[in-house]
Structure 1
Amino acid sequence: MQSVPRIPLVALTLVLGACAGTPQQRNQPTGAARSGDAQVDALYAQLDQDSQRYEGGLDLARKGDSAQAQGEMKAALDDLRAAATRCGQLPGCDQQRFVAVFDNLLRLGIGEGSARAAEGDTSGATPEATVPPEESSPATAALPELGRTVTLLKGRELGDIIALNGPVKVALEAWLTQYRPNLMDAYENYQYLRYRMWPEYEKAGLPEALLFGMLAKESGGKVHAVSRSGASGPLQFMYATGQRFGLGTVDGFDQRFDPQLAARANAAYVNEQLAIFNNNLELVIGAYNGGEGAMQRRAGKGEGALSFWDPQVYFGVSQETREYVPMVLAAAWLFMHPERYNLEFPKIPGRPGSITLKRPASIAELTMCLGQDGNAHDGWFRTLRNLNPQLDPQQQEPAGARLAVPLRLEKTYQRDCAAGRWPQLAAELHAAAIPSPPSALAQQAATPKQKASKVKSYVVRKGDSLASIARKSSCGGVQEIAAANGLRAPHYALKTGQTLKLPGC
């Protein structure tokens, strides 16, 4: 198939970013407002014309007329750039609409661009789709240096437009400020889980950055996370969805908590939905959060699917999904390009290892015994739980049991935990228990205590008798009320307006 020529889009990207940051003018006179409406309508009409012209250029490229295709596509994008500039100067002009159109134009050439990138041909790569060579990234070892941006979006060359999209910029700020500790914890947890999760994504042809973005937003890399709605595991599968993708219960263990199986199921879900939504990743991420049925009803599917950023979709989904999609994309983007945001992820030696217990021990005991060697932040409890999700952290495993640990802990275990004072101290603390009360006290505690008597009063009314008062108040019998008030049998004489004590209440 003839490769589609690539057009440099940096200028258009920058203009769209500037447009998104331009405040709209307010309080225009009525005539000016009508004039502005006409101009906005003209801009929207221009968008449609530019879109059609760009598609025409793609058709020419597929037929082999590269030179004319280049001219048509460049002219269409030049017009779109000019329209985007004017949009920022007009009240009522929807900048989000320009981003959606731009997004759709780029998606039209996914198949050709993806094949070319997969073959290692970067001769025609756009500047924004290439990361400067001096920048390093935690994902470099797993993703090809060429087109890390392309890989993030399944071949769609959005490049830096992601960072200039308003919702994603808001999400980037959130990750870099109040959620920065969450991002760091998620990264650290992921690095120890990476050898189990990343191969499943790699086999599915999906980018590691997407896996991290979803993991960071869903659970922060806490394998045993459970939401209020019942979504469970590192990638937060609901029970029915988990079963649909092979996550069942085996020997009492819920496989949604297995990081490798969860990553495999998540990758299968993403690829299934990418096929449905014509490789529109944002729609897939939105479906993962809000349900694929709801997303299909809102955006459609196949080649006719709307962009997630289309106002009809963006403002039609729930507030949660509207925030979820940019947060996932922003976390993925930071995973690839931390240096662009003055962000430095910790260096985590996450190579896998294992230990064979020399003596019975639980994960809780091992955590105390291993101390903070190499992990001064919060010890090893979370990491050991993540790597051994099927184990009860308080239950002792027998000598000879094999546990997964980071490679660096193999020597630490042999040095500090196979024998000596630290495992003894850990066993002593683990065996400690809160004392139970003696049997007599336990029986007494189990017996409901009678509430302390509270004396209440009653004002006698005309026609009352002591029996009727006892019956109405349920505060003791006739004799009790009589004794409390010095009334004598058999008549228990009462006077209207007399105040009686009711001891039974």
Structure 2
Amino acid sequence: MPGLSRVLLTASLLGLAACAGAPQARKPGAAKVDDTAVNALYARLDRDSRRYADGLDLARSGDTAKAQEEMKAALDDLRAAATNCAALAGCDQQRFVAGFDALLRQGIGGPADEGSEDGGDGPATEEPVEPGASSPAVAQLPQLGRSITLLKGRELSDIIALNGPVKASLEEWLTQYRPNLMTAYENYQYMRSQMWPEYEKAGLPEALLFGMMAKESGGKVHAVSRSGASGPLQFMYATGLRFGLSTVDGFDQRFDPKLSARANAAYVNEQLAIFNNNLELVIGAYNGGEGAMQRRAGRGASALSFWDPQIYYGVSQETREYVPMVLAAAWLFMHPERYNLEFPKLAAHPGSITLKRPASIAELTICLGQDNGAHDGWFRTLRNLNPQLDPQRPEPAGAKLAVPLQLEKVYERDCAQGRWPELAAELHSAVVPAPPPVALARAAEPSKPKGPKTVTVRKGDTLARIAGRSGCSSKQIAVANGLRGPHYTIKPGQVLKLTCAAR
């Protein structure tokens, strides 16, 4: 019965993945735990696992029809029990993932799954497992795989406190920053095969990596802050050097997603040891400096909580906002279904192309178009996957570039030859005429102020009338002067600040 166990398990795992992604009605801690019901589900897990194993024995003895019947019945019931577990307070879904994982391992390379399709002696080809995923079940159930990742032996879901600041940050990610969250998720998925293995080797949860990257750069590898922090995880130069990120052949390794993830993991583990695994203090130290955090909170088991008023109100406003935003992004990565949030499903497997003609990343972006629903095109993804390349400089024929796997065929079809690469080359070689010297001199002259920076309210004035005279918007004036809606009360003689370019 070649491949039967894999086929049955794959179908069952897909069903379980759908259950894991469905919205859940209950909230953590809101319902009383029914120990009897939970234990009954665990008993079903054990019973169905034994029934599946018995089915494998039937398959080995040659009773294919009976084996298929038993194994399918066991998996159907196990999937139903897992669905009930997801909706039952206190039920540990990790047990069911581990149960499916154990069954899947029995079917990969095991006695019931050996032999080729035509009855040969060779082992069956194993299903591909995504890089960094050690568990076959987790590889096929990324939603549950994220939720069971541990931080120093504890589930990340148990560590993150859903307090006021974190809940407020959840609202921000789900409202005005939702586009940023989605963009960060898309960028991360294409870089995941480079970044996540570094975190996994360091024993750190993937959700934390995503949360820090989402807040730091949104997954833009070449991001540089005003203070000089650079790369997807925004390392300062000195801190980067401390964790192995230097400049090699003119390339700043802070921009390398794999190396920056490795350095970030090393930093987090170092600080977890210092702060006795207090995650909030570690995240705060990453943003505001570990020295300052140690002076405020202390070290080891005696370190204060980040939420202690002495610490929370003692750090900068930036750090006070940064920590809950990272935690909220990590929480949403693990539990999107709880917030009516659906991350995009991407075919983000890594691939590569070998250039058949010279081309820059800019030219490739044009000829690759928007294949596979890439509404923003591929410029950001190509830059992220090839951070060492100047996107405007043509790379020679024979150069190898990292791309998402699905673009390998698109490149052969649209970019190796034909009208699209020719159009891209034509646009790329276009020359913008330089301005004449007189225009340059005029542009260098300092601009004169266009109007007053304050305005005095006259009798009969309204905020809208002042906005019309000044060239500022009503909202700009209200914000600059602390005026509250809905009436935005002003009075004659009042002096209002203008923060826009008034005319």
The one-letter amino acid paired with 1:283 is: L
Q: Which runs of 5+ in 1 are unaligned?
A: 1-9, 16-125, 452-505
Q: Map 1:184-263 onto structure 2 (within 5 A).
A: 184-263=182-261
- Show the counterpart of 1:362: 360
Match of 1:413 among 378, 394, 411: 411
Q: Is the 8 A contact 2:94 2:148 kept in 1?
A: no
- Show the counterpart of 1:478: none
Distance 1:372 1:418 in 2: 17
- Show the counterpart of 1:376: 374
- Show the counterpart of 2:276: 278
Return closer, same or farther for 1:129/1:268 CA change in 2, 3 Å cut-off: farther
Distance 2:161 2:208 in 1: 15
Instruction: Note the alpha carbon deviations across 1:110-135, whole angstroms, 9 max, x for none.
Output: xxxxxxxxxxxxxxxx928757979x
Distance 1:337 1:199 in 2: 21
Shift in Å, 1:11: 11
Distance 2:350 2:375 in 1: 20
Distance 2:407 2:397 in 1: 18
Instruction: Note the alpha carbon deviations across 1:84-128, whole angstroms, 9 max, x for none.
Output: xxxxxxxxxxxxxxxxxxxxxxxxxxxxxxxxxxxxxxxxxx928
Shift in Å, 1:436: 3.7
- Show the counterpart of 1:457: none
- Show the counterpart of 1:391: 389
Q: Give RMSD over aligned pairs.
A: 3.1
- Show the counterpart of 1:470: none
Match of 1:303 among 301, 304, 307: 301
Distance 2:253 2:28 in 1: 47
Distance 1:12 1:342 in 2: 16
Q: Is the 8 A contact 2:149 2:156 kept in 1?
A: no
Return closer, same or farther for 1:146/1:184 CA change in 2, 3 Å cut-off: closer
Instruction: Note the alpha carbon deviations across 1:52-101, whole angstroms, 9 max, x for none.
Output: xxxxxxxxxxxxxxxxxxxxxxxxxxxxxxxxxxxxxxxxxxxxxxxxxx
- Show the counterpart of 2:90: 127
Instruction: Note the alpha carbon deviations across 1:448-505, whole angstroms, 9 max, x for none.
Output: 99x9xxxxxxxxxxxxxxxxxxxxxxxxxxxxxxxxxxxxxxxxxxxxxxxxxxxxxx
The higher radius of gyration belongs to 1
Return closer, same or farther for 1:341/1:299 CA change in 2, 3 Å cut-off: same
Shift in Å, 1:312: 1.7
Shift in Å, 1:315: 1.7
Instruction: Note the alpha carbon deviations across 1:233-291, whole angstroms, 9 max, x for none.
Output: 00000000000001010111100000000000000000000000011111100100000
Distance 1:195 1:158 in 2: 21
Return closer, same or farther for 1:152/1:180 CA change in 2, 3 Å cut-off: farther
Return closer, same or farther for 1:359/1:187 CA change in 2, 3 Å cut-off: same
Distance 1:369 1:12 in 2: 48
Q: Scaled by the length of structure 2, what TM-score is found? A: 0.60
Shift in Å, 1:156: 3.8
1:431 lines up with 2:432 in the alignment: no
Return closer, same or farther for 1:309/1:189 CA change in 2, 3 Å cut-off: same
Instruction: Note the alpha carbon deviations across 1:217-242, whole angstroms, 9 max, x for none.
Output: 00000000000000000000000000
Q: Which runs of 5+ in 2 are unaligned?
A: 1-25, 32-88, 98-129, 446-503
Return closer, same or farther for 1:366/1:168 CA change in 2, 3 Å cut-off: same
Shift in Å, 1:148: 5.4
Of 316-325 and 207-216, more deviation after overlay is shown by 316-325
> What is the count of residue pairs matched by the alignment?
326
Q: Is the 8 A contact 1:355 1:404 kept in 2?
A: yes
Helix, strand or coil at the partner of 1:192: helix
Distance 1:11 1:398 in 2: 56
Q: Is the 8 A contact 2:363 2:424 kept in 1?
A: yes
Q: Scaled by the length of structure 1, what TM-score is found? A: 0.60
Q: Is the 8 A contact 1:388 1:404 kept in 2?
A: yes
